[in-house]
Structure formats: structure tokens, C-alpha cells
Amino acid sequence: MVSSALRDLERAGYRRVLTAALGSHERQAFLSAGFAPVAWLHLLSRTLDELPSAPPIVLRRVRRSEWERVAEVDGQAFAPLWRLHATGIGEARRATPSNRMRVASDASDRAIGYGVAGRSGLQGYIQRVAVAPEAEGRGVGSALVVDGLRWLRARGATTALINTQFDNERALRLYLRLGFRLQDDRLAVLGTQLGTAA
């Protein structure tokens, strides 16, 4: 299936293919089809019985008119490999049957951070957290993660998973401080080039 999908992508003109973040048991079919690791991620988990308190930061829904700004915040927060455009943020939201997205804004109501949480049955996910560089270190990231955790618990999830790049010490510190624990399994994003055959 992977090789067949790669042929379809090549015919459609794609030159590089990346997977989602995959656990060890999910990687084999891609490795056999020629994929190699592009980036490694920590996987962290926490139960939702006792939640940390959140900094007093007002969060609100995203407005239709500000998707471009939200994508801009994402682009400022993440290195190119990880950036999402508005469509990608929408896809991250639709990755689970139910989701919650919240935005933090500055005094002039301009979005400075956003977070996406998703739930599938008892399992919760903090899918995305991004804070504009000029707004870091004031509790926005913590407020977005704790908001997602509260929403997940209110909807019946019992655990939450989150992942972050190996070299993202800031995010790792934040998640450990908020009660997440590192899991033994690491995740990897795999990649392959297309159209290199003569």
C-alpha cells in the first residue's frame, strides 16, 4: 500500500513525502518502502485526574477572519519542517472525532498563540501549541495546554498524549512542569524522495 501510494504521489508531481509522527510499531512498512527518519520526537503522557492550575490568561475561539494571523503565529513559532498553514491546522483539528481550538490575544485583540486539543474515546491529545516569539514566557503556552487538558477531562478522556521534537527543550520543560511524563516509545517522522530513479 505504501509503495502504491508513493507511485500515485509521484504521478501527481510530488517530490518529497513525509509521514505523520509514527510509533515504533507503525514504522516498519514505511522503512521497508525506503523511508528514513527525518526527525525524532519525545512522546509524553499524563492522566487527567488532577490538573495543574492555569495562568490567568483569557482564551477565546478563533475567528474566521484571523486564520491567516493564526497561521502566521504557527510559522513564527515552528521551524519550516513543522509549520502548518491554515489548511494544515484544520487537518490537525479533524484528526480526532472531537476537538477544541483556543486562541490567546494581546491587548489589541491580535492572536499571539493558539492551541488544539483532540479526543478520541478515552484518549486525549494536545495536538498543537504555538506562541508568537514576542509573547513567550508569560504563561500563554501553559494556559493553552491546561485549557486543553480541562476540556479533555470534561469530555470524558482519562489520559492525554503530547509529543515534541527531541531538541525542543523549552516545550519539554513546559510539558514536564505540567505533569506529563516521558514515555519509553519515541516517535519518528519518516521521509523519502520521489522521482530520483533514472
Ligand X SMILES: CC(C)(COP(=O)(O)OP(=O)(O)OC[C@H]1O[C@@H](n2cnc3c(N)ncnc32)[C@H](O)[C@@H]1OP(=O)(O)O)[C@@H](O)C(=O)NCCC(=O)NCCS
Q: Which residues bind ligand X (CB under 6 A)?
A: 55, 77-78, 129-131, 136-142, 164, 168, 170-171, 173-174, 177
Q: Among residues 93 and 192, whose Cβ is nearest to ligand X?
A: 93
* Cβ partners under 8 Å of residue 194, min gap 6: 6, 9, 10, 14, 15, 16, 17
Nearest CA among 154, 188, 121 for reference residue 51 = 154
Which one, 138 or 155, has the nearer CB to ligand X? 138
Tell me the C-alpha distance between 70 and 62, whole Å.
8
Cell of 181: 511524563
156 Cβ contact partners less than 8 Å away, ≥ 6 residues apart: 119, 122
Instruction: Give the pairing of strands 98-105 and 111-120.
Output: antiparallel
Q: How far is the CB of 61 from ligand X (least distance, A)?
A: 19
Closer residue to ligand X (CB): 143 or 157: 143
Smaller CB separation from ligand X, 17 or 129? 129
Q: Tell me whether strands 159-165 and 123-131 are parallel, antiparallel or unpaired.
A: parallel
CB of 26 to ligand X, least distance (A): 19
CB of 168: closest distance to ligand X in angstroms? 5
The closest of 178, 196, 192 to 16, measured between CA atoms, is 192
Tell me how far, at minimum, the Cβ of 197 lies from ligand X, in Å: 35
Residue 62 or residue 131: which is nearer to ligand X going by CB? 131
Q: How far is the CB of 79 from ligand X (least distance, A)?
A: 9
- Of 94 and 173, the one with the shorter C-beta distance to ligand X is 173
Shortest Cβ distance from residue 127 to ligand X (Å)?
9
Query: Looking at beta carbons, which pairs linking 2-7 to residues 24 or more positions away fall under 8 Å?
Result: 2/29, 2/30, 2/32, 2/33, 2/35, 3/33, 6/33, 6/192, 6/194
The residue whose Cβ lies closest to ligand X is: 141
